[in-house]
Structure 1
Amino acid sequence: MGSASSVLTQYDIEEVQEHCSNLFSQQEIVSLYQRFCQLDRNAKGFISADEFLSVPEFAMNPLSQRLLKMVDGLNFKDFVAFLSAFSGKATTQQKIEFIFKVYDSDNNGKVSFNDILEVLRDLSGSFMSDEQREKVLRQVLQEAGYSKESYLMLDDFIKVLGRSGLKMEVEVPVD
């Protein structure tokens, strides 16, 4: 797995499966590897932010700039681990942990009012004013028992989102 142009061995496939908690079948990993190689245009063994932006669904995502920080320079194993949160087999906790990382853009292990506000700004664009976003966020936090000064930790995200029936899945086409 050193360079993207090499062929996956059975050992490589099993290693990647283990790395992503067996959330993808061997066939899915082979398909993901083919897609990884297509994205890794220069066969460097990792995918750059620019290469990720070549995926239309990714480029159009309102959170693409946040996600780019998470994906820039991923090798194949980490690429699959990144995508594992979108597996139909991923637990709600695994999905929430991923969402938490999206909100925790400075990787300090906590999400502030401003972190959430930035995500809301990305998601709502010009449809809402900053004043409207702040008002909505204050109300949502208050209803959940938090204030503008609160920092949300991963456990808080699990508590709040764990009951939501979170759907976040991408189907991996298998040839």
Structure 2
Amino acid sequence: MLGLKKMGNASSTLTQYDIEEVQEHCNNLFSQQEIVSLYQRFCQLDRNAKGFISADEFLSVPEFAMNPLSQRLLKMVDGLNFKDFVAFLSAFSAKASISQKIELIFKVYDSDCNGKVTFNDMVEVLRDLAGSFMSDQQREEVLSQVLREAGYTKESVLLLDDFIKVFEHANLRMEVEVSVD
């Protein structure tokens, strides 16, 4: 447990031990300065200093609220404490591997958390992303083509390793810049 010092109603400081513990928890994908900056942002979001961020607090971030996948992401982020908040964001680090990024995407697609992604799961996410810009038929054609190119069919059920195989050559741009004061 993080030994955070409390001052008034807000957690104000991280000890060196806390910073190193969080760094280890996120596989050292953030520098110590970035963790301190993320902690400041976490405290801003955690309006009542409860030690975790609720879905409503996440929705107060305009970029998050406007994301077409925000409802899917909320299931993953609601109630995160600081360590898990940083671990979640680590997939968006420039230092994160492509498989770490794909693993997060897999969790978004696997909305029932059964460890499997079906063609219908992918169609639903694409519907959320593309909205009315694509018809259902266009979505299915695009996904069928992507799956075919990776050696799968519409009937395939993808596990994480399969999902990585399908998307590892995609040019994924999933990065968040952490401003260090």
Displacement of 1:105 in angstroms is 1.1
Structure showing greater relative contact order (alpha-carbon pairs closer than 8 Å, 6 or more residues apart): 1
User: Which amino acid counterpart does residue 29 of structure 2 have in structure 1?
Assistant: L
What's the secondary structure of 1:121's corresponding residue? helix
Contact 2:146–2:166, Cα closer than 8 Å, also in 1: no
- Residue 10 of structure 1: which of 9, 16, 24 is its match? 16
Q: Deviations over 1:13-63 (max 9, x none)?
A: 110000000011111000000000000011110000110011011111111
User: Which amino acid counterpart does residue 54 of structure 2 have in structure 1?
Assistant: S
What's the secondary structure of 1:5's corresponding residue? strand
What's the secondary structure of 2:11's corresponding residue? coil
- Residue 128 of structure 1: which of 130, 134, 149 is its match? 134
User: Which amino acid counterpart does residue 145 of structure 2 have in structure 1?
Assistant: Q
Give the Cα separation in 1 of the matches to 2:25 and 2:71: 26
Give the Cα separation in 2 of the matches to 1:136 and 1:159: 17
What's the secondary structure of 1:74's corresponding residue? coil
Moved more, 36-45 or 142-151: 142-151
Task: Name the count of aligned residue pairs.
Answer: 175
Give the Cα separation in 1 of the matches to 2:168 and 2:160: 11
Unaligned runs of at least 5 residues, structure 1:
none
Q: How does 1:117-156 map to 2 (within 5 A)?
A: 117-156=123-162
Q: Structure 1 165/142 Cα, relative in aligned 2: closer, same or farther at 3 Å?
A: closer
Give the Cα separation in 2 of the matches to 1:57 and 1:146: 34
Q: Deviations over 1:63-83 (max 9, x none)?
A: 111111100000000000000
Q: Deviations over 1:144-168 (max 9, x none)?
A: 2222211111111221222234321
Q: Provide the aligned C-alpha RMSD in A.
A: 1.5
Mapped pair 1:39 → 2:45: yes
Give the Cα separation in 2 of the matches to 1:113 and 1:57: 28
Residue in structure 1 matched with residue 91 of structure 2 by the alignment: 85
- Residue 113 of structure 1: which of 112, 119, 142 is its match? 119
- Residue 76 of structure 1: which of 75, 79, 82 is its match? 82
Q: Percent identity?
A: 83
What's the secondary structure of 1:12's corresponding residue? helix
Contact 2:20–2:32, Cα closer than 8 Å, also in 1: yes
Task: Give the alignment's TM-score, normalised by structure 1.
Answer: 0.94
Give the Cα separation in 2 of the matches to 1:174 and 1:136: 40
Unaligned runs of at least 5 residues, structure 2:
none
What's the secondary structure of 1:46's corresponding residue? coil
Moved over 3 A (4+): 1-4
Residue in structure 2 matched with residue 94 of structure 1 by the alignment: 100
Give the Cα separation in 1 of the matches to 2:147 and 2:98: 21
